[in-house]
Amino acid sequence: MGKKIAITGKGGAGKTMIASCLAGIYSDRGDKVYAIDADPNPTLGQALGFPEELLKNIQPLLSLRDLIRERTGAAADSLGSYFLLNPYVSDIPKKYSATYHSISLLIMGATRGANTGCACAENSLIKALLRHLVLEAAETVIVDMVAGTEHIGRGTAVSVDAFITVVEPSMRSIQAGRSILQLSKSIPGLKNWIVGNKIRSIDDEHLITNSFPQERIAGFLPWRDEIISAENSGEGVYHGVPEIVQKMQNMLNAIENDERC
């Protein structure tokens, strides 16, 4: 079985940048990697350096109304209808992903449920898919998520090898990180880690060390303008900023050597 890693944190903290580097690291180790973009505003493909023509052809799963209807047995947009809690999903990763440099990208897309009430059938499909990818898939799976644990499901979350919350040195980001950590306390056995990103000074680092239990901090990544240039040029951070990749390798070592792994 490949490693399963989920990445959360407030928007802008660096989740997608970190997810793209982890995908690159595992892929270079020879793993077959699934990179899952579970952010309703998907940008993981760009961060991975996927060519535009390839990205254009990836259909966000939640935009596939017929698929949702067919698999869950519900009219995708009807409230309160009956739907399957355990729809068939194991063919989906292969069928709906695109592969570039042996990383396969799957885009979840956005639910329409955010402001319109329940999106149960859609959530049921996404949860089942994440459950399948984490519990059954032989591949390494990196999930770039929005904040929190809600759409990964408790049963799935415990089986993730590392649940990484990315924080930047701002009070809002730290508060978001603390509430994610708080929520995750209700899931005993969750292997949660904090990564401090965009560090520009020792004070930045202290702000984070003073806000989280020391033993939960996997490490820090410095602010680097090169990260932004590597993403903008389409090269991606994994190939463009070796210093960051090296630091991330060290963090992974700490995570993988933790006795809870």
Q: Residue from 228, 242, 246, 250 that binds ligand ADP (CB under 6 A)?
A: 228
Residue with smaller CB distance to Mg ion, 22 or 89: 22
Residue with smaller CB distance to ligand ADP, 26 or 83: 26
Which of ligand ADP, Mg ion, none has residue 13 at its interface (CB below 5 to 8 Å by kind)?
ligand ADP
Cβ distance 146 to 10 under 8 Å?
A: no
Stretch that binds ligand ADP, among 12-20, 156-164, 201-209, 211-219 (CB under 6 A): 12-20
Q: Which of residues 6-65 bind Mg ion (CB under 5 A)?
A: 15-16, 39
Cβ distance 131 to 158 under 8 Å?
A: no
DSSP state of 63: G
Ranges of H-type helices in the chain? 15-28, 44-47, 52-56, 65-72, 92-96, 113-116, 120-135, 154-158, 171-184, 202-209, 225-232, 237-240, 242-257
Measured CA distances, 154 to 46, 76, 127, 159 (Å):
30, 24, 10, 9
Stretch that binds ligand ADP, among 27-35, 130-138, 205-213, 224-232 (CB under 6 A): 224-232
Instruction: Provide, rounded to whole angstroms, the least separation between the CB of residue 71 and ligand ADP.
Output: 28
Q: What is the spatial distance between Cα 105 and Cα 192, in angstroms, rounded to a whole number?
A: 24
Q: Does 211 bind Mg ion (CB under 5 A)?
A: no
Instruction: Provide, rounded to whole angstroms, the least separation between the CB of residue 82 and ligand ADP.
Output: 35
Instruction: Provide, rounded to whole angstroms, the least separation between the CB of residue 124 and ligand ADP.
Output: 25
Q: Which of residues 29-58 bind ligand ADP (CB under 6 A)?
A: 43
Q: Does 219 bind ligand ADP (CB under 6 A)?
A: no
Residue with smaller CB distance to ligand ADP, 14 or 153: 14
* Apex 242 CA angle, 236 and 244, nearest 5: 85
Looking at residue 151, its amino acid is H
Instruction: Provide, rounded to whole angstroms, the least separation between the CB of residue 248 and ligand ADP.
Output: 11
The two tokens of residue 110 are: 């956005």
Instruction: Provide, rounded to whole angstroms, the least separation between the CB of residue 204 and ligand ADP.
Output: 11
Q: What is the spatial distance between Cα 124 and Cα 240, in angstroms, rounded to a whole number?
A: 38
Q: What is the spatial distance between Cα 168 and Cα 224, in angstroms, rounded to a whole number?
A: 13
Which of Mg ion, ligand ADP, none has residue 228 at its interface (CB below 5 to 8 Å by kind)?
ligand ADP
Which residues contact Mg ion by CB under 5 A? Answer: 15-16, 39
Which residues contact ligand ADP by CB under 6 A? Answer: 9, 11-17, 43, 197-198, 221, 223-224, 227-228, 231
